[in-house]
Amino acid sequence: MRPQITRSAVPILVGWLLSLLATAQIEIPSEAVEGFAQALVTVVYYVAVAVGEKYLSPRFGWLLGSARRPSYANEKTIPGDVVDRGRPPRHSSTRPTDPAPRGAWPRMQGQGLMGAWYTTREAVKGALDIAETARNDAKVDRAIAGATADIDQLCRRRGFAPLVRTRRFDWPSPLSPTPGRLWFEDDGLITLTSLTSGGVTIATSAAKLYPDDGPPYDRLDLDRTTSAAFGLGTGAQLDVSVAGVWGWDLASAAAGTLDGAISSTTATTIGVTDSAAVGVGDLLLVDSERMVVTGKTSRSTGQVLGAGGVAASMTADSAPVTTGSAYKVGEVLTIDTERMLVVDIVGNSVIVKRAWDGSRLAAHSAGATIFALRTLTVERAALGTTAATHLNGAAVFRHVFPSLVTQLATAQAVATLQAEGAGMAREAGSGERKQDVSGVGVDALRAAVESAHGRGKVRHLAV
């Protein structure tokens, strides 16, 4: 629209100015007059549209063009390219500079702390059929931590876990077509808690989050029908603060209840009623506190083996118990020194797989105490939440990451462990037992994860 107006208005204005100058017997090159006229038309056009947009209707804004930066299909990545569809460059004025709080990123267990993983130790060991040993656990944990960090890098995100934090931004230039817009770059916003500029609170109702099918949300626009504005402080740097939950989403699944109250904010062991629903590396939510599971140990179920006990035979797969409903399919039970995997529950009998997890098959007498892996070692106050006390019976929820992400984390950790076991060769075993351990089959899954959850690339023009 603006080029059409310019092409029509400039010749008319130039002719009028030249005629005035000729009448006054002043000679000025027509090119100079044309340049002046074009600048004048541009200024008048911009001012008229800006006034209309602010005082009449925001729809006038489209006359100034789209605020989205150009992108190009099938372009080659070059140094300096940045990610995301139309987002500002990584070193632009809207990039946040505040560090993430403790627990924001996955860390290897060997470094003393760990963050939420996208798969669990149990899932990887189950895929590999590895027996429980401390040495194996350390190798598996290291592979999972590496896979989790690699997925974040693949998707160009800080992480998928919900992180409570406040991020600070420089306010956008008031001369830009969208001075009320912030891009969140490599974090996605799940929920907005508060918004301030220069220490002045902006009502969250004045913030429009996009895309409209989020979360996660990748940008915030101030409602143009309100008086809300950024740049309320003494300077542009880190003027805007956005507080909320960042990550992918808040999807969760029920994981039983607490088996005993948590009466201290510093306690690092808790009891749960359903150990099958929780694995090492899982992110739990109890009330408003998140916890990362770093270990599992056995505790008494309060029940004993029923009449007749169980014989030392793989076919003796039915164990009589006092109350069958107190157990869950998938739990690992320990009777004496033998571990058993619960595969079904029939009345007051649990159907089990004997000699599970490398333990030794043995006979067990009636009255033997039954243990289950229901004591969890946890990292408290994870991902920006606050440690608190919790009542016995409080609901426990397990955070659910996107299914493709979990599948890739498991597959990549398995491929890493297989490759390590083969001395980083492409194949392991021989004859009928030979198998490819190069991880080639993971490539398609990586592509699917990047397509579904990765941030796209865009090239920004210099101005």
Tell me the residue ranges of DSSP E strands in 48-162. 82-83
pLDDT tens-place values along the chain, 463 residues long: 445 455 555 566 656 665 666 666 666 666 655 656 665 666 566 667 666 655 555 555 555 554 444 444 444 433 333 333 334 433 334 444 444 443 343 333 333 335 789 999 999 988 887 666 656 888 999 999 999 999 999 999 889 999 999 999 887 776 777 778 888 877 799 999 999 998 889 999 999 999 988 899 999 999 989 988 887 677 778 889 999 999 999 999 999 999 999 999 999 999 999 999 999 999 999 999 999 999 999 999 999 999 999 999 999 999 999 999 999 999 999 999 999 999 999 999 999 999 988 899 999 999 999 999 999 999 999 999 999 999 999 999 999 999 999 999 999 999 999 888 765 444 544 455 445 545 557 899 999 999 999 886 433 332 2
Query: H-helix or E-strand containing 130?
Result: none
User: How confident is the model at residue 107, as a pLDDT?
Assistant: 39
Closest CA to 446 of 151, 11, 12: 151
Q: 381-417 burial, b for 16+ CB within 10 Å, e for fewer?
A: bbbbbeeeebeeeeebbbbebbebbbbbbbbbbbbbb
CA 265 vs CA 262, 389, 390: distances in Å: 8, 6, 9
Burial class (CB in 10 A: 0-12, 13-18, 19+), 320: middle
Question: What integer pLDDT is reported at residue 116 of this predicted model?
Answer: 85
Residue 7 CB partners (closer than 8 Å, separation 6+): none
Give residues with Cβ within 8 angstroms of 14, minimum separation 6: 30, 33, 34, 37
Helix (H) / strand (E) element for 284: namely strand 283-286
pLDDT score recorded for residue 73: 44
How far apart are the C-alpha atoms of 105 and 149, rounded to whole Å? 8
Dist. CA 85–CA 455, nearest whole Å: 7
Question: Which tokens belong to 238?
Answer: 């880190």
> What is the pLDDT at residue 54?
57
CA distances from residue 303 to 129, 241, 257, 328 in whole angstroms, order as listed:
29, 54, 18, 14
The partner residues of 246 in beta bridges, in order of sequence, read 163, 189
**Residue type for 363, please?**
A
Encoding tokens for residue 438?
């190069």
- What does the block give as tokens for 124? 């990887």
What pTM value is reported for the model? 0.70
The angle at the Cα of 245, spanning 243 to 206, to the nearest 5 degrees, equals: 50
For the chain, the farthest-separated pair of C-alpha atoms sits apart, in whole angstroms, at: 122
φ, ψ of residue 206 in degrees (nearest 5) = -90, 0
Quick one: pLDDT at residue 15? 62
At 72, which amino acid appears?
Y
Cα distance between residue 319 and residue 76, in whole Å? 62
Q: Are the C-beta atoms of residues 189 and 215 closer than 8 Å to each other?
A: yes
Q: Which two tokens stand for residue 217?
A: 């949300």
Omega cis (within 30) before 99: no
CB count in 10 Å sphere of residue 52: 15
Counting Cβ atoms within 10 Å, is residue 12 exposed (0-12), middle (13-18) or buried (19+)?
exposed
pLDDT at 219: 92
Contact partners, residue 186, CB within 8 Å, separation at least 6: 83, 84, 156, 157, 158, 455
Q: Report residue 5: phi and psi, to 5°.
A: -65, -40
Torsion angle of the four alpha carbons 321, 324, 327, 332, in this order, in degrees rounded to the nearest 10: 40
55 and 446 Cβ atoms separated by less than 8 Å: no
